[in-house]
Amino acid sequence: MHSHAKFFLLLSIAPLAAERIETAPAQRPYFHYQIAGDAPGSWPAILSSIGLSTGGAEGSGVIYVVTASATPDPKGWRERVEQGAIVILEGGSALAREFGFVSKGERPQAVRNLMDTHNPKLGIIWEKVLDLEDFHVPATARIFTRERWRGAPLVAGLKQGAGAVLWVAAPPGPKGHERFPYLTQALTGLGMQPPFRSRRLWAFFDASYRSRVDMDYFAARWRKSGIAALHVAAWHFFGPNPERAAYLKALIEACHRQSILVYAWLELPHVSEQFWQDHPEWREKTALGQDAHLDWRKLMNLQNPAAAGLVEQGVRSLLQNFDWDGVNLAELYFESLEGHSNGARFTPMNSDARAQFSAAHGFDPIEIFSPGSPRHHSREAASLRVFLDWRADLARRMQEEWIARLETIRATRPHLDLVLTHVDDRYDTGMRDLIGADAARLLPLQDRHDFTFLIEDPATLWHLGPERYTDIAARYAPLSLRPQKLAIDINIVERYQDVYPTKQQTGTELFQLVNLASRAFPRVALYFENSLLAPDLPLLASSAAAPDRVEWAGSRLAIESRRGLGLPWKGPALVDGRPWPIADDATVWLPPGAHAVEPATAQPTLRVLDFSGEIKTAFASANTVELAYVSDSRALAILDHPPVGLEIDGAQIPPQTERTPNGWLLRLPRGHHLVLITR
């Protein structure tokens, strides 16, 4: 949460629970936190990363942070905890001693290597050694984090009454994730329920990491984690293969049963392993004349008309033979991050590209990399500059050509969404020369083609903090004709830089990345589904939820958000004074904007339990639900009862539904629509 945002809870949650117990959440959400003292440290960054807000009134549904510099009177705190508050304590304060966290009085010991119960095998190493005292903790406390070799407690929790205490041996560090990655997970282990959830995340999926899995189990887990769409590595299914086709069909069906959209993720000029084997004559070449097998990608020469035609035919078959919801044209430019300095990885140097360039500029670009050639000795001069500019223009022309090809396929399958994934070259401006990426020349295509521009966070920036997403968004917004169709792709992988305390983003660091990215961009994608660590999944959806204002007034909750979100809620609800049908048994799903939520006396006779599109307005009456929505692909709705009538934009349509374990699946068209569903 931005530091300037202030949130106030006008009435504590406990009186609301007593007044309307049948409509109160079974487990009280904590909407806000307070910090004792004038030095909050990084606690606001930690707690806001999962949607908690500062401010509010005293009450049981509060998280209090008492930093090491604060000196509060110990009286009354135990009662607060007993009534439902969570108190966070640092070090050996008087208040920590009051709850049984007492220094052993021994010489401080060096601490750098940690073990956390949420992920015991994960290496947690601090950049700088810290000398810390050892502490006694209460016998009933749960120890979450220890010094790896001596076992000294560093993070521990204690449940008391309706609340709890979380103790840390040292402050969490200036950024909030330098020392204890899993503080938010520890809070949930002590009974904290995060206040909001999003279901707008995208995630990339590679079947080679999930070859033998229960797809229904994983689809349910993905949806619970806030994933709205899965971008599936489509090269594994390029060309006929009955076993793989059956796998893909089952995956798509399992996702649809959870209202998860499925996109075909293409990585041209990589086509498929089989295409590489079948067509050695069309393999891309590096500047050293070698076949362009670079990392996992095996690149093909798409400047060759015959090769491009056969690839287009295969892509068309792939998109028409499976029930995709969209297609992602990803990373259609050239290798590599070393640019022209490494000829063994530099492309394109196929004969067709060289002939095109030679016809336009009068020399073969291979001369730049040929020892003995005059151009080889002046790589940094005019010849290289001309080729790098031509190469960037070639990448843009390839992208435009393939977008047009996909548009012709979409003409026969109008429900398909189109996404273009493109590495960032505005923040890291060296990308244009390294790989040919030029977003400024590509984004104007949004005027002629309807696509989401998904900005890939380059590896060169993975070690930087989450604040970079605000900067990246500011650099792209002026270039885009449709800023609402900009998105960011966060790579959740082990980083090659020296980073601390973990090689891969996890816990608070991951939540900070997702939270700030969700505030900066309408859509956030994660690479990739398999790399997300299990301890992060329960809070992932909360990190992507970004409320701007939250206030209680009696039994009425006022909330404002830019993207829409899910509010924990049990029982029927009125939203803006009207019966609200977009809800399941635990969550009310709200559209973007400002809304008021309060208890209702009865559930609607028909509810939309889950929905893949963006809700604009909704209303329940008698036996109908009226829903206005927008969706870049077709929309998937899960209903709690089978519909008998369906009206879309005033036209009667026979409803066709599919029974799922969660309800009845109804497919709705792409675009802006007003729908009337009758039970």
399-425 pLDDT, tens digit per residue, is 999 999 999 999 999 999 999 999 999
d(CA 508, CA 185): 9
Cβ neighbours, 10 Å, residue 563:
21
Helices of type H across 258-347: 273-278, 305-321
**Does residue 362 sit within a domain?**
no
Q: Are 180 and 90 in contact (CB under 8 A)?
A: no
415 and 313 within one domain: yes
pLDDT digits (tens, 9 = 90+) for 300-325: 999 999 999 999 999 999 999 999 99
590 and 502 within one domain: no
pLDDT digits (tens, 9 = 90+) for 600-609: 999 999 999 9
Burial 289-323 (b: 16+ CB within 10 A, else e): eeebebeebbbbbbbbeebbebbbebbeebbeebe
528 and 396 within one domain: yes
Does the pLDDT of residue 255 top 80, yes or no?
yes
Give the chain's domain count: 3
Which residue is listed with tokens 């959400």? Answer: 29
519 and 572 within one domain: no
177 and 71 within one domain: yes
Q: Are 539 and 50 in contact (CB under 8 A)?
A: yes
Q: Which strand (E) or helix (H) includes residue 616?
A: strand 614-621
**Does residue 455 sit within a domain?**
yes
Q: Using DSSP, state whether 14 is helix, strand or coil.
A: helix
Mean pLDDT of 284-311: 97
Pick the residue with more confidence: 73 or 67? 67
Does the pLDDT of residue 254 top 70, yes or no?
yes
Strand positions, DSSP E, 163-254: 163-168, 201-205, 227-233
User: 32: burial class by Cβ within 10 Å (0-12, 13-18, 19+)?
Assistant: buried
Mean pLDDT of 53-70: 82
Does the pLDDT of residue 21 top 90, yes or no?
no
Half-sphere exposure (CA, 13 Å, Cβ side) for 164? Answer: 18
Q: Are 16 and 24 in contact (CB under 8 A)?
A: yes
Does the pLDDT of residue 9 top 90, yes or no?
no
Question: What's the pLDDT band for 335 if we cut at 50, 70, 90?
Answer: confident
**Does residue 623 sit within a domain?**
yes
Which residue is listed with tokens 């009207």? Answer: 578
Beta bridge partners of 308: none
Nearby residues of 317 by Cβ (< 8 Å), 6 or more positions away? none
Does the pLDDT of residue 167 top 60, yes or no?
yes
Strand positions, DSSP E, 97-172: 102-103, 109-116, 124-132, 135-136, 142-147, 153-160, 163-168
Sheet of 663-668: strand order equals: 608-611, 635-639, 663-668, 657-660
d(CA 333, CA 105): 61
Supply the pTM of this predicted model: 0.94
Provide the pLDDT for residue 130.
98
pLDDT digits (tens, 9 = 90+) for 265-280: 999 999 999 999 999 9
499 and 432 within one domain: yes
Mean pLDDT of 611-615: 98
Mean pLDDT of 546-560: 88
Q: Any idea of the CA torsion for 149, 151, 157, 159, to the nearest 10 degrees?
A: 150
**Does residue 37 sit within a domain?**
yes
Going from the C-alpha of 313 to that of each of 271, 326, 406, the distances in angstroms are 12, 17, 11
Q: At what angle are helices 382-410 and 351-361 packed, to 10 degrees?
A: 120
644 and 496 within one domain: no
Q: What is the mean pLDDT of the chain?
A: 92
Provide the pLDDT for residue 28.
54
d(CA 103, CA 68): 14
Nearby residues of 187 by Cβ (< 8 Å), 6 or more positions away? 63, 86, 166
Residue 114 Cα to chain centre, angstroms: 27
Mean pLDDT of 481-500: 93
417 and 270 within one domain: yes
What's 311's domain CATH number? 3.20.20.80
**Does residue 3 sit within a domain?**
no
Mean pLDDT of 344-351: 97
Dihedral over Cα of 212, 256, 457, 235: its sign: positive
**Does residue 375 sit within a domain?**
no
336 and 259 within one domain: yes
Beta bridge partners of 113: 125
Going from the C-alpha of 440 to that of each of 97, 424, 443, 470, the distances in angstroms are 59, 10, 6, 18
Mean pLDDT of 315-338: 94
Does the pLDDT of residue 20 top 70, yes or no?
no
Out of 492, 526, 543, pick the residue that ends a domain.
543
Out of 509, 543, 577, pick the residue that ends a domain.
543
| Domain extent for 538 | 201-346+390-543
139 and 115 within one domain: yes
d(CA 66, CA 88): 6
pLDDT digits (tens, 9 = 90+) for 618-629: 999 999 999 999
Provide the pLDDT for residue 1.
33
Provide the pLDDT for residue 56.
66
232 and 143 within one domain: no
Q: Any idea of the CA torsion for 317, 322, 323, 328, to the nearest 10 degrees?
A: -60
Out of 491, 516, 543, pick the residue that ends a domain.
543
**Does residue 354 sit within a domain?**
no
**Does residue 368 sit within a domain?**
no
442 and 559 within one domain: no
